[in-house]
Structure formats: C-alpha cells, structure tokens
Structure 1
Amino acid sequence: MSVPQVRRAVAALRGHAGRVNCVRWVRRRDGVALKVFSHRLLEFKLCEIFSCVQLVKSIPLKGHTEAVFAVDAVCQSDEPDFNVLIASAASDSTVRIWSRHGSEGNIFLISYKKIKIFFFFLVPILACGGDDCKISLFIQQNGQFQKVLILPGHEDWIRGVEWAVCGEDLFLASCAQDCLIRIWKVCTKLKQLPETEDDSIKLKENIFTVKDADTSYAVSLESVLAGHENWVYAVHWQPSFSKDGSIQQPMRILSASMDKTVIIWEPDKESGVWLEQVRVGEVGGNTLGFFDCQFSPDGSMIIAHAFHGALHLWKQATINKKEWTPEVVISGHFNSVEDVKWDPEGEFVISVGFDQTTRLFAPWKRKEETEVTWHEIARPQVHGYDLRCLAMIGRFEFVSGADEKVLRVFRAPKNFIENFSNQSSDLPEGATVPALGLSNKAVFEGDMAVQPDEDEESFNTISNQYPEIYFQPLILTEPPPEDHLLQNTLWPEIQKLYGHGYEIFCVACNNSNTLLASACKASKKEHAAIILWSTSSWKKLQSLSFHNLTVTQLAFSPDDSFLLAVSRDRNWSLWRRENSSESGPVFTCCAYTDKNTAVHSRIIWSCDWTPDSKYFITGSRDKKVIIWGQCDLSVITEGNGLDSIKPCSTVLDAGDSVTAVGISRVLTPDGRYIVAVGLESGKIILYTWKQSGKEPTLADWTTGVEIDNSQSHALAVKRLCWRHHAGRAGHNDENSSKWLQLASCGADHCVKIFNVNRFAL
C-alpha cells in the first residue's frame, strides 16, 4: 500500500502589499526551470523559483493605473536568461505587453476578463476574452500586436480562454457566463476540407493572415460543450507531456463552474464528439461553486479553487479510471483570521476569522514517517456572520463571538472526541447546519439517515426531505478532505448568550472554566460594559461598566483573581474578584488609567498576564509595549489601587503599531519572562523581561529574536497565543522542556505555529 504524499506549504513568497489576484507558472520548453508571476493593484512581479522553494529574485513591473486581474507569459526561447513575453490585463481597460528586456507596449481595449498568450509557428498569438461576449485575437507583426480577428458566439461575459497545440493545429477553449464551453480550431488555410455540395452543412471560417510568415489561417468552431448549469468560470487543457522525445498534447479539458461541479471532457474515440467523462464536486454544502481548476502534470489529479476560498483535490483511481476520490489538501482561512487559542492540553488550536468559519488545526504524524505536519481536522462552526473572537471552555468546548449580538457556545461531538481516544455515550454523533439556519443542529445516532444498501427508497426519501440530518461519522485515519470538513466535522451548538446591544468584539474565559467575560462594539459608555456569565448556568452574573469605547481585549489572571480590560479609549481597567455571594462572584474595579494617568496615547489593542499573576502587559497603536504591576497585587484595595499599579518596565518602542502581545507561561532558564509582540506590519518579535530593581531600566528588556520576513505574517498580526506548557504538539521529545510553541494569526489569512527554543533566548 502506497503512503499518501504529505502536502504542506513549503515557502511563502512575500513582496506584494495588496491582494494577489492570480498566479501563473511559466515553464521553459526544456522543462529546466520554473517561474511564477503574481500581480496586485497597479503592479505585478516576476519571480524566479528553483525547486519550488528558493526565491532568487523578483522584478516589479509597474504601469497599470488600476488593479491587475489577469496575466500570462510564454518563453520565446530556451536561452538561460529566459526571453519571456508577458501580457497583463487590468481594470484600466488596457492590456500591456512586456518583454524580458524591459520594453513595454500598450493596447488600449475594452475591459478584458481573461487573456492567454501562445506561440504558434514561432509567432506570438494573444487571445482576449471580454465583457462584450467576444474573443479577440492579436498577432505580433512587425514588432507590434495587431488585432486580426473577432470570434463571436458566447452570449455572456467570457470568463476563461486557454490555448493547446496538437500536431500542426492550434485549439482554443473558451468558457463564459452563458454556461457553455466553446472549442475553436486554428489551422492553415491549405489544410481545410475541400468544398462540398451546396446543400451540406458548412462551418463558418474566419480567416486571418500572418504577414511575417506569409500564411493564411482559418478559425472554425470545433464544438460547443453544454453540461454546466451555471456560469463556467475556468477551462483548462491537460498539460502536454514528453513521450519518446516528442511532446504530446492530450485532447482533454477540465472546466469549473458555479454549479458546484468540475467536469473532465474528452472527444469520443470513434465519433470525435466531445463528451463529459467525469464530474466531481459537491452536493449541497455551504459553498458557492468553483472559481478555477487545474490538472496535475500527468492528469492523474485535479484541483479546484472554490468560490469561498477552499481548495478541493481529487485523485484518479489506479484500476477504475472513471473513479475519482477526494484527497487531503492544504486548507485554511480565506479571510482575516481574528483570534486563535490553544486547547488546555496543547494538542490542537482553534481559530476564527472573517471567512465566517471556526477551524481546528492539529499536528499529524503518519506511522511510516517521522515528520509532523499540521492539518485542519475539523470545522466546528460555519456561520453567516464574520467571526471575531473565541475562548476555550475546557478542552472540548468553546464560545465564539461574531458580528452579531449573540455569543454561541459549542461542544465537541462524540465522533470528534472518539478520534482523540475519549469515549462518551451521552454526546451527539455530530452536527449539521439546517437550511437557512445559523445554528449547528446536533445529530444523534438514531437520527442518521438509512444507508442506501438497507433501503434505497427510504434513503432517497429521507435524504431529500431532511438533508440536514444526513451526517456520516468519520474515523480519522488521515486528515479529512475538504468535502468532509464542510459536512461532517461540525460541532453542535449548545447555548446562545443574549445581552449585548451591538456586535461582539472580545471574549475570555477564566482558567477554572467557570466564568466568561465578553464585550461588544461601543461608542458610548452604556454599551461598553463587560458582561460576566456563568458557564454552569449560562446566566448573566454581572455587568462591569467603566470604559467609554469598545473594549478590545479581555484577560483573566492565571490565578483567576483579576480581570484585565483594554479599550479603544486608550485606557485599561483592572477588576478584582471578591468573595462569592449567593448569586455568584462579584468583581470590583480596583485600578485603572484615565486621561491624567494614561501612558498610551492611542488605542490599546492587546493585553496579557505573566504566569505568576504579578504583572500584566499592554500593547498599543502608539508603538508602545508596557508591563504594569507591583510585587503583590493582593494588597490592592479600592483606595490605593491607582497608586499601587504603575509601569514596572521602561516603555518598549516596537517600531510599529502593536496589534498583539503574549507572555509565555514557561520562563527562560534564568527566570526571565518571554514576551511575543505582533506588529501591524506582520512582524513578530520575541523579547525577554525581568524586573531588576525598584525602578525600571532599559536593561530589563532583552531582544530575543525577530522572526524572519519569510516566516512572519504579510499583514497585521491579530493574536498571539502561547502553548500552556513546554514541548511541541505531536512530538514525543526527549528534551520537551527545550521547546515552546507560539500560535499566531493575522489579516493575511494565515495561522502559524512557531517552535521556539527557550534556551536560545
């Protein structure tokens, strides 16, 4: 039995400051080296990559005045310096042609959606599909690209064009929002069929002449493929391959559509009629269809990019070539990741983001391999609002907050816990999202649909009438593919918490898992109150009113004696837990800053506690990081709190707006606190700190390491969270005390896990 290939991210190419709209590989004709083109607003960059890992150099190409959304390139020769011809299209209604040596020419056109350039008999030919429902062909003649032909036929915007060469003939596939795929054939005029009788059906020929080659060519419609039921967004030919020293081009097309399917098309061997051979995709699910697709080089796998951001991978069976099965693929958020938390045991992390999903990532180690890789193994929540914050309540329970007024509590189903070697018979098997619903519904063993081989008629009836209960338990022998993540890894929602007047912004749980604290967006004091909840009764216990604007982060001290809040009003407030009453614990404000005592001059974005509960840290947009406290916080009273809590460190200037801070619960060997600081630029810097005397000094701070640009985030760091104890998740380290792990998330859609050697700090 073959071992599944480990699929993981091997490198991050940084350089763009805005969203990357598309990426193109360009292969030299001898297949020696590769290049990747990516582009963004107003410019795109040419990058050379060897072994898909090492970035050699990047060259920015500027010229467009609006966002670039389509690019293609072709090698003009096999010379070592890559004589490349590049075409780019942008929202400024222009297509620009670039050469390797820096020359540039402009073609001012209508707004083209897709472009594709190709060499045909050593002459560059450019196909452009636009919102006029027509395909325009351009030929390079006398050093300039000139329009030679317009191909009508599509009845809506064209979304994809792709060239392929077979022998001496050139084929062009196009797809559009009219749900159709059209295949065009380009060949020399001399090769056209002889004249037939007048009463026979003739295909209209479109003729153009290449003056440099002194040859005329005819373009005719080869076939129209109808099978998709919604917009067709992409069409691609299977890549050519080398056989017996010759280049072979398979006559095989892959298409992706908004109807949630991907189709492989091939011509019938006898009649030559193009037919649908394989259809894969999703039935139901919380998706909007597929935006793009690609063949693997040998055609044995296909990958599709779903409109909501996920990648789907299918592999062809070895024996039955008509059977394609879902495979494990790299997955993650497709919008800003706002919060991330470790589970108390440190075996997995959970994150939430503006892609309206909660995702659970865990390390995976195959028996045959020593390498540990991280994968998404569950998607507990798929929501209808952007998710902003979460807090773990024990190991298999969490609460999340979104751009709605409700907090939602989720508990792991039996199926998930069994996969972590825990048994419980009172839990539901899993969960589903009912149609038009926002709450995950628990599915118990007796609710699951009848299997087809038991009663096919009953199965069809149940699945049609009640599709939300058709849940299939998973046995995780490997990370689940995207299809299962969408449908079979949800966690049941067990509680909703009502009380806030605006969208939830932050939430925290104490270390004994008995209390929740939450806050919402606010522009007035009455809305900026912090609400305390009981995790046993889910009742509201207390409302803590102090701040005038949104509370941005909440943090309980490790000993659960204090609650810290930081706010947009540039102040922090410290709340102490008093003796419990009949209705529950009571928190009172024991210290705070105001306009007279504040040190921060901008929004305070983040805060955290030292593991001994003696000090807390704040990080602000004013680039300042400050550690506050005194030797013994237990002596604070309401009267002396303002004088007791002072900065215990010098003001650390991080050099950029501070968006996240985190303090490790494990110290350095010499007893210093390990502090991680995340910046708006995406950088993460590790410091160590220890109070050396009664007065703060610069010697208190020591810079440990600044994480390299290739490993840090490309946009703002949103949250930093240390694993609670030493060691690396998924590893059985002999020297586990050597390693710490830091989880981070950012606006660049990434969740990152860093291994930190605490002996090297």
Structure 2
Amino acid sequence: MSLTLLKSLLLHKDKLWSIDCAKGLAATASSDRKIKLVNLRNLDFKEVEELDDNTHKKSVRSVAFRPHSSILAAGSFDSTISIWGREDSNDLQDSQETELLAIIEGHENEVKSVAWSPSGEFLASCSRDKSVWIWEADELGEEFECLSVLQEHSQDVKHVTWHPQINLLASSSYDDTVRLWKEEEDDWECAAVLTGHEGTVWCSDFENSDAPLRIVTCSDDSTVRVWKHVEDSEDGEDVWVQESILPQMHTRAVYSVSWSPDGYIASTGSDGVLAIYKESEQGKWEVVAQHSEAHRVFEVNVVKWTKINGEHILLSGADDGSVNVWKFSA
C-alpha cells in the first residue's frame, strides 16, 4: 500500500484549520478569516471561489457542508457561525457565486467546530465557552432555532461530529473526554462519556456503520483509540468500551482523525506525521502507510478522506496555510 503526494496547494496566508468535502468540492477554513472553495473533480485542484466579505472578524476555525446540498456552515473565533449557499443549492460546479445566507449568534466565546446531522436537519456547534449547541435549520439554510444548549463538559469543547447514518453526536473536549449525545423525548441528553485519554481530545470520527457503533478519537496524549458501543441503557448511560489503541505513530498531540467509508483510519498532528491504519480480519489494527513530514516542518491540523473518480484521496491542512492532496493506493 502506498501514499503519494499529488498536489500541494498554498491557499491561505495563515494557519489552515479545517477541510470538508462535498460533490467534488473542498472547503477550507483559516486564521486569515477566509474560506476557500477548491474544485476536486477530475483531480483539477483549482480554486473556485474565496468567501470573505469581511463576515468574520477573527479566525474561521471550522467548515462543514450540509448533506446533499451546497450549503456551508463556518464557525469562527468571533463567536458566530456563518451560513453560505447558492441559488441552486444542489449545483456546486456552475458559475454562481456563493452568498451569505445567515449569521448565527449565541455562543459566548470562540466557536471551535460545526457539523451537520446526516439528514441536514440539525447543525451542531461547540465552543470555548464549554457548551455544545444544537440548531434546527430550515430547508433554505436561512433560519435557525436553538433546540438545546448542552453544558456537561467542564472545559473548552474542541470538536463535534455526527454519526453518518443516525442522529448520534460526539463532542471532544479539553476535559480529556468525549461525550455522546442523542435525542430523548424532544430533548438532547448525554448518552455516554468516553474516558481514558490522558490529555485533550482534539477530534473524533464515527465508522460508517450502525452495527456495531464505533468511533475513533485522538488526543494530546499522542494516542489514537477506537471505542465500541456494547449496549443501550434504559436507565442511565449507554455502555461503550475502549476496543483498541492503534499502533503508536505519533510523538506529540494528534489533532485530527478521519475514518473512511472503506474502513481506513487516517491520523495527523503536531509532529507532522500522517499515518493510515487498517483493521485485519482478526481485529488487529496495523499501519499500512505513513509519511513522517506531511507538510515539511509544519504542524498538521486536519486530515479528511474523500473519493475522486473511485480513487482514495486524502486531504491534509497545516500551519503554513497549505492543503496537500494524497492518493492512497490499497
């Protein structure tokens, strides 16, 4: 198995924090307060559009496409979330300009992450104010109602992500835990707390399967771990167990993990290492590809799987404002 660098794109003038992909398009977020859109179709890699408009006064920390549309949410250190879209929300590739649809306010401090539920009905956001908010969105992405403010984390919440098939939300925190949230009787409640990491949990990502439910997490403690749902609980928290600690590839904080639909896990972090893991038939995780200096001397903040023309493509973003495009051959 091999990992080949196809292209390096210098998109931003400051740290690149977040990448998301939809319908052959990639969106990136940066400390330079800009959002860039890049065409991935046919391995084109040309910049399509820059979203600036002086919308955000501080770093844009996270971007997320709404499923089945071109609507994009962006969370910023200025405590707001911007929502962007086109007149034809299903067409990403024509010459339309992306327009600002809405500004969402509510958080008292920096917004660290935003994520859409698999149906696109809900938008989750998290913040340095220790809270996770769940918003209900209208079809056009112009109106948002806050349904719940979840305040059970004791520290800064770094990241939120939804299971790709069901309405199960994970939040990762500076308090060294991951909390799992689900809707119960028209309210959102904590279904489980994953404990075991010995440092900030920076990111998590669900496996694209509903049986069993599994999630991968990464931390300041330089580990990558897989957790499995064991059973639901009718009284109290659901039961999740730590299933595996993946082979030790990192020497410093691991900032980002991504679980591909084909079962590969990618991780990256402050040591610049990009690693790919595969689970054997015996349930043992092995490293199948790695690069020790994915962005030369720079810390790598995010990694994201996508597919282009049937090829496994991995996008990584770093402190130098660049996106590297990698081809993974299994």
TM interval, shorter chain, is 0.5 to 0.7
Equivalent residue, structure 1, for 2:30: 90
Counterpart amino acid of 1:137? I
Equivalent residue, structure 1, for 2:172: 256
Deviation at 1:333, TM superposition (A): 4.5
Equivalent residue runs for 1:266-665 within 5 Å: 266-268=182-184, 271-282=185-196, 287-299=198-210, 300-317=213-230, 322-335=238-251
**Distance in 2 (alpha carbons) for counterparts of 1:373 and 1:152:** 42
Counterpart amino acid of 1:150? I
Give 3-state SS (helix, strand or coil) of 1:236's partner.
strand
**Distance in 1 (alpha carbons) for counterparts of 2:227 and 2:208:** 14
**Distance in 1 (alpha carbons) for counterparts of 2:105 and 2:190:** 24
Counterpart amino acid of 1:288? G
**Distance in 2 (alpha carbons) for counterparts of 1:156 and 1:712:** 36
Equivalent residue, structure 2, for 1:66: 14
Counterpart amino acid of 1:93? R
Deviation at 1:93, TM superposition (A): 2.5
Report if the CA contact (8 A) 2:32-2:60 is conserved: no
Larger relative contact order (Cα-Cα within 8 Å, sequence gap ≥ 6): 2
Cα deviation per residue 1:458-495 (whole Å; 9 max; x = unaligned)?
A: xxxxxxxxxxxxxxxxxxxxxxxxxxxxxxxxxxxxxx
**Distance in 2 (alpha carbons) for counterparts of 1:252 and 1:374:** 28
Counterpart amino acid of 1:312? R
Cα deviation per residue 1:49-101 (whole Å; 9 max; x = unaligned)?
A: xxxxxxxxx344343233322111101xxxxxxxx121112233221112235
Deviation at 1:164, TM superposition (A): 1.9
Equivalent residue, structure 2, for 1:229: 154
Equivalent residue runs for 1:176-215 within 5 Å: 176-188=127-139
Q: In 2 relative to 1, CA 272–61 (structure 1 residues): closer, same or farther, beyond 3 Å?
A: same
Give 3-state SS (helix, strand or coil) of 2:178's partner.
strand
Equivalent residue, structure 1, for 2:317: none
Structure with more of its chain in strand, by fraction: 2
**Distance in 2 (alpha carbons) for counterparts of 1:118 and 1:104:** 18
Give 3-state SS (helix, strand or coil) of 1:288's partner.
coil
Deviation at 1:182, TM superposition (A): 0.5
Equivalent residue, structure 2, for 1:158: 111
**Distance in 2 (alpha carbons) for counterparts of 1:148 and 1:164:** 19
Deviation at 1:373, TM superposition (A): 8.2
Q: Does 1:107 align with 2:51?
A: yes
**Distance in 1 (alpha carbons) for counterparts of 2:232 and 2:13:** 52
Give 3-state SS (helix, strand or coil) of 2:149's partner.
strand
Q: In 2 relative to 1, CA 91–217 (structure 1 residues): closer, same or farther, beyond 3 Å?
A: closer
Q: Which runs of 5+ in 1 are unaligned?
A: 1-10, 16-57, 76-83, 189-209, 211-215, 241-249, 337-353, 356-365, 376-709, 716-761
**Distance in 2 (alpha carbons) for counterparts of 1:88 and 1:712:** 22
Deviation at 1:186, TM superposition (A): 1.1
Give 3-state SS (helix, strand or coil) of 2:73's partner.
strand
**Distance in 2 (alpha carbons) for counterparts of 1:157 and 1:72:** 20
**Distance in 1 (alpha carbons) for counterparts of 2:123 and 2:101:** 15
**Distance in 2 (alpha carbons) for counterparts of 1:117 and 1:304:** 22
Q: Which runs of 5+ in 2 are unaligned?
A: 88-94, 253-269, 272-279, 295-330
Deviation at 1:221, TM superposition (A): 0.9
Q: In 2 relative to 1, CA 372–272 (structure 1 residues): closer, same or farther, beyond 3 Å?
A: closer
Q: In 2 relative to 1, CA 328–128 (structure 1 residues): closer, same or farther, beyond 3 Å?
A: same
Q: In 2 relative to 1, CA 323–68 (structure 1 residues): closer, same or farther, beyond 3 Å?
A: same
Please identify the structure whose Cα radius of gyration is greater: 1
Q: In 2 relative to 1, CA 104–229 (structure 1 residues): closer, same or farther, beyond 3 Å?
A: same
Q: In 2 relative to 1, CA 128–333 (structure 1 residues): closer, same or farther, beyond 3 Å?
A: same
**Distance in 1 (alpha carbons) for counterparts of 2:250 and 2:17:** 18
**Distance in 2 (alpha carbons) for counterparts of 1:292 and 1:261:** 11
Equivalent residue, structure 2, for 1:148: 101
Report if the CA contact (8 A) 1:14-1:714 is conserved: no
Q: TM-score of the superposition, structure 2-length normalised?
A: 0.66
Q: In 2 relative to 1, CA 327–220 (structure 1 residues): closer, same or farther, beyond 3 Å?
A: same
Report if the CA contact (8 A) 2:247-2:286 is conserved: no
Identity over the aligned pairs, expressed in percent? Answer: 23
Q: In 2 relative to 1, CA 173–373 (structure 1 residues): closer, same or farther, beyond 3 Å?
A: closer
Counterpart amino acid of 2:9? L
**Distance in 2 (alpha carbons) for counterparts of 1:153 and 1:217:** 16
**Distance in 1 (alpha carbons) for counterparts of 2:86 and 2:205:** 28
Deviation at 1:303, TM superposition (A): 1.6
Give 3-state SS (helix, strand or coil) of 2:72's partner.
strand
Deviation at 1:372, TM superposition (A): 9.9
Equivalent residue, structure 2, for 1:404: none
Deviation at 1:317, TM superposition (A): 1.8
Report if the CA contact (8 A) 2:168-2:181 is conserved: yes
Report if the CA contact (8 A) 1:183-1:223 is conserved: yes
Report if the CA contact (8 A) 2:102-2:142 is conserved: no
Q: In 2 relative to 1, CA 278–713 (structure 1 residues): closer, same or farther, beyond 3 Å?
A: closer
Deviation at 1:14, TM superposition (A): 4.5
Counterpart amino acid of 1:266? K
